[in-house]
Amino acid sequence: MYKIPLFDLNYDEQEEKAVIETLRSRWISMGPKVIEFEDKFKTALGSLYAVALSSCTASLHLALKALGVKEGDEIICPSLTFVATVNAIRYQGAKPVFCDIKSYEDLTIDPLQIERAITKKTKGIVVMHYAGFACDMTEIMSIAKNRNLFVVEDACHGILSEYKRNKLGTIGDVGCFSFFANKNLSTGEGGMAITNSVELYEKMKVYRSHGMTSLSYDRAKGHTTEYDVIELGYNYRMDDIRASLGLVQLGKLYNDILKRQNVRKMYLERLADVDGIIIPFTNRTEFSANYIFVIVLKNSTSYKRDKVRSYLAEKGIQTSVHYPAVHKFSIYRNSSFNLPFTEYISDNVITLPMYSRLTSENIDYICENIKEAI
C-alpha cells in the first residue's frame, strides 16, 4: 500500500444510505433513480438531454453510431488519450486518424493538425479535454462547421469544467462522461452521453437497450405493454443502484472540485522553482475539474522518467502515466503516424496524486521528493 495513493474516493455514509434505500425500494435495474440522475446531470451541465449508460466507452460508441459512423469513414482523434476514445471508433468499423497535441504545455489536440488530416472520407472529430482543460473548441468547432464534420467530446476529465461560459461536453454534438471508480464522480462503473439534439438523444436511448421501443420500467408502470425492436441495439444500461451513487456524488462534485483546485494551486506554488520540469496548462484560468495533475520532465527519456517514478514509489507515493500513446499499442501500430509531441509526453509525463482530501503536508512531502528524485 502506498502512503499517498494516486486517487482516493470521496465516499462516506451518504453513498451507503443511498444504495440501501435503492435496494429496499426493490427496483434495482434501470428505473426512477436513473431518470433522476439523468435529469440532475443535464441540469448541472446545461444540456437538453442526457442518457445514462454502463460506461463512457458505451457512450462514445453510441455517440458515433447515432452520428452515422460506418465502415470506411475516417475519424480524427488524439493519441494522447485513454484507448477507449479510439477503440469506440473501431467498433463502428471506422478508421482512427491520429493527430498530435499542441505543445509540451498544452496537451490537447492541435487544430492545425486536424485541418491537415481531413480527407474526403473524414466524417468527424473526437476530442479529449486532457486533465479537465478544454481543447481549442472555438477553432475546432469552426473547422467542423466549414467541413461539415461532427464533434464528439470525450469529457471524462472535464466534468463541470468550463470553456467560455459553456461546460465541456455541451459544445460538440455529443459529450461523453465516465463514472469509473477513479473519476471525479464515481459509481464504480458508469457513463453518460449528453446532447442538445433530440434525434441523437432518441437514437442513443434505443441503442442503449437492445433497440427496443420501450423499457421494462415503463411497462411495469403500466405506461405500455408492448415493445418492438427497431435497431440492432446493445445492453449499455445503467442500473438504479449506480444511479443512486451518482446522485450523491453529483451533489458533492462542485465542492470536491474546489478542493482539487486548491491542491493544484499548492502543487504549482511548490513546483514553480523546480528546474527540469514543465507543468502543463499553467496559464489556464477557467474553472477546471482537475481530474489529474501531471508534470513533464525536460530533456528526459522514458528510462529517466521511470527512475523518478520508482524513487517516488519507494517513498510511498503512487504515480501514473497519462497516457501511453495509443498509436504505439500493438493493435494500432500498423498505422504510421508521426506525433512527436505526443510521443515525448508519453515517455516523460508523470501523473501525481490528485484528490480532494490531499493535505498541504502531503503536497509538501510529494514535492520535496520530486526535487530529490530529479
Ligand X SMILES: *Cc1c(COP(=O)(O)O)cnc(C)c1O
* Least distance from ligand X to the Cβ atom of residue 73, Å: 20
CB closer to ligand X out of 62 and 370:
62
Cα–Cα distance measured from residue 316 to residue 318, given in angstroms and rounded to the nearest whole number: 6
CB of residue 259 to ligand X, shortest distance in Å: 20
Q: Which stretches of 214-322 are assigned E, i.e. beta strand?
A: 277-278, 293-297
Contact with ligand X (CB under 6 A): which of 41, 82, 207, 337? 82
Least distance (Å) between residue 276 CB and ligand X: 28
# residues contacting ligand X (CB under 6 A): 14
How far apart are alpha carbons 281 and 371 in whole angstroms?
20
User: Which of 10, 47, 92, 178 forms a contact with ligand X (CB under 6 A)?
Assistant: 178
Q: Among 77-85, 113-121, 262-270, 362-370, which window interacts with ligand X (CB under 6 A)?
A: 77-85
CB of 122 to ligand X, least distance (A): 21
Per CB under 6 A, which of residues 185..224 are in contact with ligand X?
A: 191
Whether residue 11 is preceded by a cis peptide bond, meaning omega within 30 degrees of 0, is no
Shortest reach from residue 335's CB to ligand X, in Å: 20
CA distances from 53 to 177, 205, 229, 242, 327 (A): 9, 9, 19, 10, 27
Q: Which of 76, 117, 156, 204 binds ligand X (CB under 6 A)?
A: 156
Quote the CA–CA distance of 345 and 351 in Å, as a whole number: 11
Q: Which is nearer to ligand X, 84 or 194 (CB)?
A: 84
Applying CB under 6 A, does 350 fall inside the site for ligand X?
Answer: no
- Amino acid in position 147: R
Nearer CB in complex with ligand X: 288/300: 288
Is residue 151 involved in binding ligand X (CB under 6 A)? Answer: no
Assess 84 for contact with ligand X (CB under 6 A): yes
> Can you tell me the distance from the alpha carbon of 103 to that of 328, in angstroms, rounded to the nearest whole number?
19
Distance CA 374, CA 365 (A): 14
Say whether residue 249 binds ligand X (CB under 6 A).
Answer: no
Query: Measured from the CB of residue 343, what is the shortest distance to ligand X in angstroms?
Result: 18
CA 78/CA 359 separation, integer angstroms: 34
| Closest of 172, 75, 81, 86 to residue 118, by C-alpha | 75
Q: Which is nearer to ligand X, 55 or 348 (CB)?
A: 55
318 grid coordinates: 503512487
Please report how close the Cβ of residue 298 comes to ligand X at its closest, in angstroms.
Answer: 25
* Half-sphere exposure of residue 354: CA atoms within 13 angstroms, side-chain side: 28
Going from the C-alpha of 82 to that of each of 4, 34, 38, 85, 163, the distances in angstroms are 23, 26, 24, 6, 22
Which CB contacts under 8 angstroms, 24+ apart, belong to 215-218? 215/30, 216/29, 216/30, 217/27, 217/29, 217/30, 217/31, 217/32
How many C-beta neighbours within 10 Å does residue 69 have?
Answer: 24
Q: Using CA of residue 122, residue 126, residue 130, residue 132, what is the dihedral sign?
A: positive
* Whether the Cβ atoms of residue 240 and residue 29 lie closer than 8 Å to each other: yes
The residues carrying an active-site annotation are 183
Judged by CB, which is closer to ligand X: 144, or 155? Answer: 155
Q: Which is nearer to ligand X, 51 or 128 (CB)?
A: 128
Interaction residues for ligand X, span 36-55 (CB under 6 A)? 55
Q: Which of 10, 22, 81, 195 binds ligand X (CB under 6 A)?
A: 81
Placement of cell 434495482 in the chain:
28
85 contacts ligand X (rule: CB under 6 A): yes
Site map (CB under 6 A) of ligand X, residues 103-142, x = contact: -------------------------x--------------
Per CB under 6 A, residues contacting ligand X are: 55-57, 81-82, 84-85, 128, 154, 156-157, 178, 180, 191
